[in-house]
Each structure stands twice: as C-alpha cells, then as structure tokens.
Structure 1
Amino acid sequence: MIQFTIKQNDFLSKEIEAFSHTDYIGYDRRDEIENYPMYLLTLKNDVNRNWRESLLKDAQKSLLAALSSDLPEIIDKIEPENLTVCVVPRAKKENSYRKDQLLFKETIRIAVNKLGDDFIDGTQFISRHTNTKTTHLRRPIDDYDNDGSEPYPGISGNTCNFSENLRGRDILLIDDIYTENINIDEDMIQALLDCEANSVTFYAVGKTIH
C-alpha cells in the first residue's frame, strides 16, 4: 500500500491523508506496472462492453482481496475508533447504470460488512442526481452522450445527494483511481467536510503515475 498526501488547492481547503493500493497508468502502457489492476477496467464496465459474468466475478474477487488487505492497515495507521466507508459515485446519475456497472461500489459494501466493527457501511451515503462529464474517456464512445460539466469547485455539492448521517463521522472515502489535478476527489472530500464530517481519509485502488 502507498501513503501520500492530497494537497490543498482551489477545490480543497486543507491537506488530506491518503492511501492507494498500487500505481496506475493508462491501459496502453500497462506493461510498465507489475500486477496491473486490470480488474478496475473490468468493473468500470463502460457502455458498449458486456463482460461475461465469470469475468466480473473474478474482478470482484481481486478488488475484495485488495480492500481486505489495505483497509485494516489504514485503521492501524490513523487509529480512529471506526471509519464510515463512503464511495465516490460514478459520473452519471446512478439510475442510468446497469447493476453490473455498479459492482465497484457493491464490492466495497461487501468488504466493509466482512471486516467487522472497525468499519461502518456508508456506501449509500452519497448518490449522484445530476450527470457530470466522465473524465476517464479519452475518445468518444458510439451511442454514448458524455454530457455534464467538467470538474469545478463545488460540483459535488451541486450534483450529489449527501446523507445527514455523515455529520460527525470519521470518513474513509474510496475511489477506483486517483489522478492528481483532475480534482474530482478533492471536491468530493471538501463536500464531506462541508457536511460536517469529523474527518476524511482517502483511499484509491490505483494512483495514476505519469
């Protein structure tokens, strides 16, 4: 596991302690990363892909293994009484996705409920109600309207619903891939702070390197 700091910027009012499972790089350079997390691409399961059920289950198993290893280690490092685990929602309204396109969040829910009292399931505490731009798509996809705004300060608060149960909690916010300067995660962290979370720690399975 890799430990790093998310820096304060126009999207985020203070530095945040963060962790990732592995380095990440674009698919076309995947051979540069040992044990490349291909399962993340499978679980994104974007519009024109229809993966076999067995492939999706294998991807879930790989993600579950990473979470089961890393999340207890995070608890040991930051020593909160417990952590409420939330997930950065996908870019479009949740009801616009098929069930098999939401397996990243579902796998996190499964992991949290297996790991015991140190973790609280907050995977339903954030939901997207307004589409935003899907930033990881490098080129257009046939029959896919990538509508919505690019990241701007406050976009999370304007496009997501946040549960009142966030107030006063120590949050572990999880995303699949963290890329510096995109600022999706920074803005979501700030939204949680604005919801009066006691603290926010961030975890991404993959952290983009250049």
Structure 2
Amino acid sequence: MAKPNVVSKADLLASAKRCIAEDGIGKLTLKAVAEGAGVTQGTVFYHFRTKDQLLFEIVKDLCESSWNDLNNRTVSLECREGIGQALQSARSRCQYRSFYHQLFYSLVVAGFQQADIRKQLGTLLRMENDRLSQLLDGAGQRTEELPSGTAAILINALIDGLALQALLNEDFPVDDAYDAVERLCNLWFDASE
C-alpha cells in the first residue's frame, strides 16, 4: 500500500539511488522510484517532472554532499592540503563505470537537447568552480599569471576529462593521471608563493 504523499524529496532521491545501485541507470524509472519509496508515481512526478530532472537532482545531491564533506575535512588544513584532499575525493570517483560520472555524462548529453538541464548543469559547474577557487584562495595564494578562478576552471576541466577517459577505458591509469594533476597544482602554489 502506498504511503500518503508526505514523502520528502530526500526520501525519493534515496529511493532513486537504491534503484540505480540495484538495477543500473538504464532501468531507473519514476515508477521504480515510487515503488521503492512506497508512494504513487504522481508523487515522484510532483517533485521531478522528468527522469532527467531526477538524475540531475541525484548528481546535484552527490556533488553538494561531496563538497560539504570536503569542507568539513579541510577547515583546519592548509590550502595546499585542502586541494590534495579535493583531488583525492575526485580520484576516488574516477573509475571505470563510475556511478556518479555515468549520471553526470548522461545529463550532459540530455543538456544538448534540453535547455533547462543545460542551464542547471552550468550552475552546478559554476558552484564547483567557485568552491575550488575558494580552496585555492584559502591561504591567500594568488598569482597574476593564473588567477584562482581560472585555475579552478582548468582543474575542474581536467578532473571531468579524466573521469570521461576512465569511464571509457577500463585500463586508464587513474593514479598516474591524478599524480600529474597534483604536480600541476603544486606548481601553481609554488608560483604564487
């Protein structure tokens, strides 16, 4: 029997994540999410008008949770160590068949046709760039040649590009690639000191 329509958006996102973990992205439907949460399909539709909107909300939730967790861990760290923690977090998600990146890149494709998804993804990327820029600025390091905002965009682009390559190549050398990204970040810090 379905529960009354007093389920939270977070409960529906948890149901969707369970559905994906159990059956994969391809079998995720609003109906499956409703069944997993014990509510009607209309309740899910009320919160997420489309499957793509649901996928976006999952990606946004995972992204924000990751950044909040990172901020909690790096509050007392030096800026360089905070960036190291951010790279370690990104490295842990960079793997063949990564759940998060499969969702993210599915949405990127959807965003080519759907302006609302494209706009929401753009906002999410700007938030990530801003958070990374704040980490770079955390200890006051700045360089005129490469401002922290631009450095954040480049680092984020590297991370997303590495994730795409890891999704497509089971033998992708994740550790070597991330070691190189960390060396690039250290060069930025060295130049700004």
Tell me the TM-score range normalised by the shorter chain: 0.3 to 0.5
Please identify the structure whose Cα radius of gyration is greater: 2
Specify which structure has the bigger relative contact order, considering alpha-carbon pairs within 8 angstroms and separated by 6 or more residues: 1
TM-score by length of 2: 0.36
Q: Which has the higher strand share?
A: 1
Q: Which has the higher helix share?
A: 2
TM-score by length of 1: 0.34
